Amino acid sequence: MDRSQALRAQISELVAEYAATTLRRAPFEPGRTVIPPSGRVIGASELQLMVEASLDGWLTTGRFNEEFERRLAAFLGVKHLITVNSGSSANLVAFSTLTSPKLGSRAIKSGDEVIGVAAGFPTTVNPILQFGAVPVFVDVELGTYNVDASKIEAAVSPKTKAIMLAHTLGNPYNLSAVTALCKQYDLWLIEDCCDALGATYGGRLVGTFGDVGTLSFYPAHHITMGEGGAVFTNNDELKVIAESFRDWGRDCYCAPGKDNTCGKRFCWKLGQLPEGYDHKYTYSHLGYNLKISDMQAACALAQMDRLNGFIAARRRNFGFLSERLRSCEDFFVLPHATPSSEPSWFGFPITLKSASAGSRTELLTYLDQNKIGTRLLFGGNLTRQPYMQGRAYRVAGTLDVTDQVMNDTFWIGVYPGLEEQHLAYVVEKIEHFFGIGF
């Protein structure tokens, strides 16, 4: 072992000692310990790999990212996965990919329509608007909080080119119905899996049914690298286009630090450029720069060893809440999994019934006073958000359930950092609010 290797080993040992000293959790104190709806779970291995990446001095995408992409693609069972700097960027790249002129008549163009829902996070919809296409909103189901698949076909028009939907809070939507419609009408399908890593439908992982899938690695999500996301596909052409949009829109597909992968770097004739113009500086798309650093990838690579345990913990926590909160069914609607699915839960959604005692604001205020974190179902009804005023969109039918979600729904956490003692306290306080057992 040379001197540099010895120093790395010594530093790694010190990082492990630091983690053991500083990352220990304080004992749970009911009413004093904050119970967040989400959070990251990291330990010595994440810190050690991040430090190792920093010692490499390779500040952009490198060996850790390459290994992370390989391992996550293998977990998903897909041919291609590329990292980006957020889940929102993943959605942007996924949608932009389907607008490429290289796709010919199937390319999404300005004015084309894309079917989705308004009950969700804005960046599942925003890329549609940012490009100049038109989102068409379909209502959702109460209980699953996913698109009401029976209403999608009525939303299809001659202008429809794609369906772009998220698996809400880790609960898969009806992929049998959605994929059948995509096949019938020759539509693209983008699966936003940012909240659903590890969820399955019919025994198959979500994200692998559509043309493109997306993930987020923000600390609230199933695994984290701080800020980050991914786009994945089994389509070779879409993979190359997605990389182009991520990497400035360039036509060259060389990895960072590599040249002449194609073997004809100075032999291309594209656009109105002179023949032989350097392929590394030839741009076929109006692209972005959305890569991550290798330090981020190192964190996520360590998280891969925990992923199956994280998914199991989320399911276990969801099951505990489902069982214990049956006592409150007179007051709110309990969530349920989509038939044929096994969710990888991001949260536990609750919708207050109209006859329930107390408004949502009163309940959330009470929970907040008792150190229990909650979240609304993201944007509620996006068509009612300030930024949507004056923008072009279409509503197919009504959004009655979406409005109900906006007015009466919230969710509580199931992330792996929560244990039974935390969840039991949450149940106790919810029951107390409704006067159950008191």
Strand order in the sheet with 347-352: 332-333, 347-352, 409-413, 375-376
Rounded to 5 degrees, what are φ and ψ at 74? -65, -40
Structure-token pair, residue 225: 């690298």
Q: How many whole angstroms separate alpha carbon 412 and alpha carbon 391? A: 32
CA 24 to chain centre: 28
Q: How many whole angstroms separate alpha carbon 175 and alpha carbon 173? A: 6
CA R_g for the chain = 23
Q: How many whole angstroms separate alpha carbon 244 and alpha carbon 92? A: 13
Give the other-Cβ count within 10 Å of 288's Cβ: 17
Clarify whether 221 is annotated catalytic.
Answer: yes
Q: Which residue among the candidates 80, 221, 222, 285 is catalytic per the annotation?
A: 221
Say whether 328 sits in a helix, a strand or coil. helix
The one-letter amino acid code at 154 reads A
Q: How many whole angstroms separate alpha carbon 168 and alpha carbon 370? A: 27
Strand order in the sheet with 204-205: 204-205, 200-201, 341-342
Q: At what angle do helices 236-246 and 87-97 cross, to 10 degrees?
A: 120
Residue 311's H or E segment, with its range, is helix 307-324
Of 350, 424, 412, the closest CA to residue 37 belongs to: 412
Q: What residues contact 362, with CB distance under 8 A and at least 6 apart? A: none
Under DSSP, the state recorded for 199 is -
Q: How many whole angstroms separate alpha carbon 218 and alpha carbon 88? A: 10
Structure-token pair, residue 229: 């996301």
Residues involved in catalysis = 221
